[in-house]
Amino acid sequence: MKFNKIMCISDLHLSEEATVLNENFLALMGRIPESYEALFILGDLFDWWPGDDAINAYYKTIASALRALHCPVFFLPGNRDYLPNKKWLKLANTSRLPDTHSILVANKKVTFLHGDELCTEDVGYQKLRKITRKYWLQWLYQKIPLSLKNKIAKQFNRSSLKKKPVSNRVYAPVESAINQIVKQEQCDILVHGHIHQVGIYPKNSYTRVVLPDWRPNHYQSLTITKERIVLN
Where on the chain is the footprint of Mn ion (CB under 5 A)?
44, 78-79, 194
Least distance in angstroms from the C-beta of 168 to Mn ion: 15
Distance from C-alpha of 198 to C-alpha of 215, rounded to nearest angstrom: 13
Cα 77 to its chain centre, rounded Å, is: 5
Least distance in angstroms from the C-beta of 70 to Mn ion: 28
Query: Of the two residues 143 and 163, which places its CB atom closer to Mn ion in the complex?
Result: 163
- The per-residue DSSP string of 141-204 comes to HHHS-HHHHHHHHHHHHHHHHHSPP--HHHHSPPHHHHHHHHHHHT-SEEEE-SS---EEEE-S
Rg (CA), the chain: 17
Distance from C-alpha of 186 to C-alpha of 110, rounded to nearest angstrom: 9
Least distance in angstroms from the C-beta of 194 to Mn ion: 4
Closest-by-Cβ residue to Mn ion is: 194
Other beta carbons less than 10 A from residue 89's beta carbon: 18
Query: Of the two residues 79 and 221, which places its CB atom closer to Mn ion in the complex?
Result: 79
Query: Of the two residues 76 and 187, which places its CB atom closer to Mn ion in the complex?
Result: 76
Least distance in angstroms from the C-beta of 76 to Mn ion: 11
Instruction: Give the SS3 label for residue 20.
Output: helix
Query: Of the two residues 51 and 78, which places its CB atom closer to Mn ion in the complex?
Result: 78
Crossing angle of the two packed helices 123-132 and 135-143, in degrees rounded to 10: 70
Distance from C-alpha of 132 to C-alpha of 125, rounded to nearest angstrom: 10
Least distance in angstroms from the C-beta of 44 to Mn ion: 4
DSSP 205: S
Least distance in angstroms from the C-beta of 87 to Mn ion: 23
CA 108 vs CA 91, 190, 197, 204, 224: distances in Å = 31, 11, 24, 15, 10
Query: Of the two residues 78 and 212, which places its CB atom closer to Mn ion in the complex?
Result: 78
Query: Of the two residues 11 and 185, which places its CB atom closer to Mn ion in the complex?
Result: 11
